[in-house]
Chains A and B, each alone.
Chain A
Amino acid sequence: MRRTGFSAMVIAATAVLAGAVPAFAAGTSATPSPAERATSAPSPVPTRTRPAGQEPSAVPTKRPAATDAPTRVPRDQVSVVPSGAPDTGVTAGSDSSNTGTLIGGGAAAAVVVGGGAVFLLRRRQANGE
């Protein structure tokens, strides 16, 4: 029983403290706070003027922060982030590099031979054959 009472107090204190933080932030951003205090306007001001006693006002100011939290800071969507970069390509070691060279070599040879053929044809045409 005593324990419950104590934890209730702790929760209440936490709520007040947590409520005070957004209220402070609101206070700094909204400059005309003195004027608003007089009219006892919406939520941010009351929590500032009577932070200790009035828990009801502290709770509402806390609630928006609480509803924000689950959408803003959920657990990570990727629960375990892998390290490094994925190894998503194997070039077949020596085998594939050989075929690569072969293909490249073949293409190069084609260019050389093709160029030679064109040259020969041209020369033959130039000779009037």
Chain B
Amino acid sequence: MSRVSGRALAGLALAALLVGCGGPGATTGSAPGSSASTSSSSSSSSSSSAPPAAKQVPAVGRSVPVALRIPAVGVDTPVMKLGLAAGGTVQVPPIQAHDRAGWYENSPTPGQTGPSVILGHVTVGAYGDGVFRHLGQLRRGERIEARLENGTTAVFTVTDVRTVAKANFPTKEVYGNVDRPELRLITCGGERTGDGYRDNVIVFAVLTGSGH
């Protein structure tokens, strides 16, 4: 075999590799790349200084969430209202490009005592990555900010990230009463089954601050 063909092969290999990475990586590289690097330092400091479960802060006034920021995984999204779908399941945000997160309107608003529930897609079909694409990469101690309609920002700290089979969805742990302001972020994860996913990824967080 000649040298030329060898080079061509090597070039081909490189090109194939680039294509392979470009698919899933393209969307992650654009926005989150920069914010992820800055947040990793802040999140590590917050996790070391504040054990999330121990610290308790007073609840904030009731006001509907309008935006959600999770610097560690590059989330910065408007928040819509979600109700119940036919059949009693929770509504999910529409499948569209640049999809949004949604707050379940029968749960407390973020910062009120109780489990405030916010949902978002992991993928939105042909549109690619959903707003909660990287939710599963959140770690304990990382920061979630919910901006409310009245201008307050409720700041939460992640206490747990769980992947659970949809068949065993922990309804009580997600929607059950708690004695402090908490937050639940829900998306899908795990193996793909048909046009959906086998599991849910659930982030548990607790209110650790608020401001304007």
A interface residues (Cβ-Cβ under 8 A, vs B) = 74, 76-93, 95-97, 99-100, 102-103, 106-107, 109-110, 113-114, 116-117, 120-121, 124
Task: Tell me which residues across on chain B come within 8 A of A83, comparing CB atoms.
Answer: 87-89
Whether the Cβ atoms of A93 and B195 lie closer than 8 Å is yes
| Chain A min CB distance to B180 (Å) | 11
In the complex, A116 Cα to B12 Cα: how many Å?
11
Task: Tell me which residues across on chain B come within 8 A of A86, comparing CB atoms.
Answer: 89-90, 92, 119, 186, 188, 200
Whether the Cβ atoms of B197 and A89 lie closer than 8 Å is yes
Task: Tell me which residues across on chain B come within 8 A of A91, comparing CB atoms.
Answer: 123, 125, 192, 194-197
Whether the Cβ atoms of A103 and B20 lie closer than 8 Å is yes
In the complex, A114 Cα to B17 Cα: how many Å?
9
Task: Tell me which residues across on chain A come within 8 A of B57, comparing CB atoms.
Answer: none
| Chain B min CB distance to A116 (Å) | 6
How many A-B Cβ pairs are below 8 Å?
A: 148
In the complex, A101 Cα to B10 Cα: how many Å?
23
Apart from A77-B107, A92-B123, what 14 extra A-B contacts exist at CB < 8 Å?
Answer: A77-B114, A78-B104, A78-B114, A78-B177, A85-B166, A86-B92, A89-B122, A89-B123, A89-B187, A91-B123, A92-B124, A106-B20, A110-B17, A110-B20
Given known contacts A109-B16, A114-B13, A117-B6, is B125 in contact with A90 (CB within 8 Å)? Answer: yes
In the complex, A97 Cα to B12 Cα: how many Å?
25
In the complex, A89 Cα to B19 Cα: how many Å?
24
* From B19, B24, B106, B113, contact of A80 by CB (8 A): B106
Given known contacts A96-B123, A120-B9, is B115 in contact with A88 (CB within 8 Å)? Answer: no
Question: Is B95 on the interface with A (CB-CB < 8 A)?
Answer: yes
Whether the Cβ atoms of A82 and B104 lie closer than 8 Å is yes
Given known contacts A78-B107, A116-B9, is B169 in contact with A90 (CB within 8 Å)? Answer: no
In the complex, A100 Cα to B6 Cα: how many Å?
29
* From A79, A82, A95, A120, contact of B90 by CB (8 A): A82
Task: Flag B155-186 by CB within 8 Å of A: 1 or 0 each.
Answer: 00000000000110101000111100000001
| Chain B min CB distance to A117 (Å) | 4
Whether the Cβ atoms of A87 and B89 lie closer than 8 Å is yes
Whether the Cβ atoms of B200 and A88 lie closer than 8 Å is yes
| Chain A min CB distance to B117 (Å) | 7
B16 to chain A: closest residue by CB: A110
Whether the Cβ atoms of B123 and A121 lie closer than 8 Å is no
In the complex, A114 Cα to B67 Cα: how many Å?
45
In the complex, A100 Cα to B2 Cα: how many Å?
35
